[in-house]
Amino acid sequence: MAQSQQFKSNSKLEKVLTQGHFAVSGEVGPPKGTGAEGIREKGAMLKEYTDALNVTDNQTAIVRMCSLAGCTVLKQVGADPLMQIVCRDRNRLAIQADVLGAVALGINNFLCLSGDHQKFGNHPNAKGVYDLDSTQLIATLRQMRDEKKFICGEDISGDMPMFIGAAANPYADPFEFRVTRLAKKVNAGADFIQTQAIYDIDKFARYMELVRDMGLDKRTHILAGIIPVRASGMARYMKNFVPGVAVPQSLIDRMKTAEDKGGEDKKQRAEYGREEGISISLELIERVRQIPGVHGIHIMAVNWEEIVPVLVERAGLYPRPQVL
Amino acid sequence: MIKAKHKPIESIGEMAAPYRRVLVLGCNTCTAVSLAGGEKEVGLLSSTLRLRNAGKGKNQEFQEFVVKRQCEMEFLEEARELIQETDVVLSLACGVGMNCVADNFPDTPVLPGNDTAFLGLSPELGQFTERCVACGDCLIHLTGGLCPLARCAKRLLNGPCGGSEEGHCEISPDVPCIWHKIYDRMRALGQLDKLSVVVPVREWSMNDAIGPRSFVREDLTVQTGQGE
């Protein structure tokens, strides 16, 4: 399958996708502090099981070690990082500067996001920047790469290899506009898409049908988002408090039923919940793989990173393809 | 219109405390419509401040006056003597009026009795909501007449973010997602095609990127050295 191709970057994820493999990306949440050891450990644990590892950018508007530093630490342990950039915290000067620095440090993958509103985080009175929106951020990165120009039109010196990604939420409203919005992101330059967590497969399948009708699956690589659920409480929390994540009540009930098998024993309940969570994730992975146009999965197992190797192996996605 | 509301009475009292003669100066235009700057509010606030002082042996006077617009010197003239005689002006105008008093009366301190909230409207009595950020570069022809800069919590220009749910914004079920409304309206108007175009990076130079803004209309300026 491998062939000599012109790649946009040195990204492993790009090569895996371009060569037609089913891709797997993961996620590492940086610490609320300076310790790099946790990132190194997660990177070392996950690098063999994924093609890229996202490092979140002040996720849910909570201050953490910056994505650029987290990505750099991941590089040190041989993982291929994916730098998330939100529009909430930085203006066009800061973002373009960070991108130059990231490319200089060998980071190839970027994900362009609006960012959760600052209201949700630990600095709710911060001024939201939103100088650019996520679609404009994609267009900015593409211009920096393809035209080697900043937004202002001035030239960038040096190479700009970048594999540019964006997010999509098939469950947000208005549903009919979601595919148009995806098309805008693809037109702006999104090489790949990582979706919000998929639980309602039927709705996602309808979304993908509209995606295929517009031919977008031929122009970008869509990775379906998987958030492994560890406990019914976590599912309930996501349903109620995490913006943009649609968790069906049936999933919460299923987790609860499994946990109840453990009776009053907390440990037993947690163990049953964990096993059910793994089963649910594996079912979801299997079902999204059947949907035409889905080119991979993006597993977001924040604070449960050790489950990623289990899922990838049990889903038959290990070993990961070796690409050059 | 400009919408404003009183600062908390405690903080007004504290700001005014060092001054003996306080001129509570209302404005009979925008803040009067906001029920925060007209004759009635000037009277009520002054009475409240007097009551707070009652029995404390405090020698503080609150004089009441309302001009038609504090943002125009023509109307502020009517209060000239009062302003020059008082120790401080407690303004119940918006920030524009307050600045106008300060610009024109260099010897008189000005205190803000109001917080200027936004450019908006009052859909129901007692409710106020923002509609315009005075960005200086109107774009609502692209968005069905509804402004995403004023009404989207992230000022997005290319459609609703992933937090839009059942017509409301991710920040609160009480806040409508304006992009959802824009979508519905553009569909009703048969203009959905406009929403599929990528809106490029915005030049904020007409907004807050250049410092204090001003503009000149040559057709209205008085030309010196011309006939007539």
Q: What is the pLDDT of residues B136-178, one digit of tens each?
A: 999 999 999 999 999 999 999 999 999 999 999 999 999 999 9
The single residue listed with the structure tokens 């925060």 is: B36
Q: Give me chain A's average pLDDT, please.
A: 96
Per-residue model confidence (pLDDT) at position A75 = 98
pLDDT (mean) for A31-54: 97
State the pLDDT at residue A242.
85
Nearest to A136 among B161, B201, B204 (CB): B201
Of A234, A227, A224, A233, nearest in space to A203 by CA: A224
**Smallest Cα distance from B100 to chain A, Å:** 28
Q: Chain A residues with CB inside 8 Å of B201's CB?
A: 92, 132, 136, 139-140, 151
User: Rounded CA gap, A42 and A28, in Å?
Assistant: 7
Q: Which residue has the higher pLDDT, B211 or B126?
A: B126
Looking at beta carbons, which residues of chain B come within 8 Å of A128? 153-155
CB contacts, 8 Å: B167 with chain A: 173
Q: Are strands A294-299 and A221-226 parallel, antiparallel or unpaired?
A: parallel
- Give per-residue pLDDT as tens, A292-307: 999 999 999 988 999 9
- Tell me how far the alpha carbon of residue A47 is from its chain's centroid: 15
Put simply, the chain A residues between 83 and 102 with a CB less than 8 A from any chain B CB are 87-88, 92
Does A37 lie at the interface with B, CB-CB under 8 angstroms? no
**Closest chain A residue to B158 measured between Cα atoms?**
A135
Q: What is the DSSP letter of A8?
A: S
**Any CB–CB contact under 8 A between A187 and chain B?**
yes
DSSP state of B165: B
For A117, the closest of B153, B197, B199 (CB atoms) is: B153
Q: For testing the chain A interface, which of B139, B142, B169, B170 should be mutated: the one with the most A CBs within 10 Å? A: B170
- CA distance to partner chain B, nearest, from residue A151 (Å): 8
Nearest Cα of chain B lies from the Cα of A323 at a distance, in angstroms, of 33
- Residue A171: predicted pLDDT: 96
- Partners of A117 on chain B (C-beta within 8 Å) are 153-154, 163, 170-171
Model pLDDT for residues B63-103, shown as the tens digit of each residue? 999 999 999 999 999 999 999 999 999 999 999 999 999 99
Residue of B nearest to A196 (CA): B162
A30-to-A60, A70, A168, A182, B60 alpha-carbon distances in Å: 12, 6, 22, 28, 58
Q: For residues A118 and A243, is the Cβ–Cβ distance under 8 A?
A: no
Chain B positions touching A140 (Cβ under 8 A) are 201
Structure tokens at A239: 């349903």
Instruction: Kindly state the average pLDDT of the residues B30-55.
Output: 96
pLDDT digits 0-9 by tens, A70-109: 999 999 999 999 999 999 999 999 999 999 999 999 999 9
Q: What is the pLDDT of residue B226?
A: 54
A169 touches chain B (CB under 8 A): yes
What are all long-range contacts of B86-89, with beta carbons under 8 Å and residues at least 24 apart? B86/B21, B86/B22, B86/B23, B87/B19, B87/B20, B87/B21, B87/B22, B88/B16, B88/B19, B88/B21, B88/B22, B88/B23, B89/B23, B89/B25
* Whole-number pLDDT of residue A2: 40
Residue A55: pLDDT band (50, 70, 90) is very high
- Share above pLDDT 70 across residues of chain A, in percent, rounded to a whole number: 98
- Is the pLDDT at B205 greater than 90, yes or no? no
Predicted pLDDT at B227: 52
Query: What is the 8-class DSSP label of residue A154?
Result: P
Q: How big is the CA angle at B128 (ends B123 and B131), to the nearest 5 degrees?
A: 85
How far CA A115 is from CA of A299, B152, B211, in Å, comes to 19, 13, 27
Residue B201 touches chain A, beta carbons under 8 Å: yes
Q: Which of B193, B201, B203 would you mutate first to test chain A, the one with the most A CBs within 10 A? A: B201
Q: Which domains does chain A have, with CATH numbers?
A: 12-229+289-303 (3.20.20.220)
For residue B224, what pLDDT is reported? Answer: 63
Residue B132 pLDDT greater than 90, yes or no: yes
Provide, rounded to the nearest whole percent, the portion of chain A with pLDDT above 90: 95
E strand map for B88-196: 88-91, 110-112, 114-121, 129-132, 168-169, 172-176
What domains lie within chain B, and their CATH numbers? Answer: 2-118 (3.40.50.2300), 134-206 (no CATH)
The pair phi, psi for residue B76, each rounded to 5°, is: -65, -25
Q: CB-based contact (8 Å) between A199 and chain B?
A: no
Lowest mean pLDDT among A257-266, B124-133, B197-206: B197-206
pLDDT band, very low/low/confident/very high, at B221 (cuts 50, 70, 90): confident
Tokens of A121: 């985080």
Q: Give CA–CA dist B167/A225, Å, rounded.
A: 23
Q: How high is the pLDDT of residue A1?
A: 39
Residue A29 DSSP one-character state: P
Q: Do B195 and A177 touch (CB under 8 A)?
A: yes
Burial of A227 (0-12, 13-18, 19+ CB in 10 A): buried
Confidence label for B208 from pLDDT (cuts 50, 70 and 90) = confident
Q: Are strands A192-197 and A163-168 parallel, antiparallel or unpaired?
A: parallel
Residue B37: its pLDDT value, please? 97
- A121 touching B (Cβ < 8 Å): no
Average of per-residue pLDDT across A112-141? 96
Residue B225's pLDDT band (cuts 50, 70, 90): low
B187-192 average pLDDT score: 97
Specify the pLDDT at position B121. 96
Rounded mean pLDDT, B116-139:
95
Say whether B160 and A174 touch across the interface (CB within 8 A).
Answer: yes
Residues of A in contact with B166 (CB under 8 A): 173
A256-278 burial, b at 16+ Cβ within 10 Å, e below that, comes to bebbeeeeeeeeebeebbbebbb
Model confidence over A244-278: pLDDT tens digits? 888 999 999 999 999 999 999 999 999 999 999 99
Segment A315-320 mean pLDDT: 98
From B190's Cα to the closest Cα of chain A, the distance in A is 14
Give the gap in angstroms from C-alpha B161 to the nearest C-alpha of chain A.
7
Instruction: Note whether B149 and B135 are within 8 A (CB).
Output: yes
Among partner residues B167, B197, B200, which is closest to A136 by beta-carbon distance?
Answer: B200
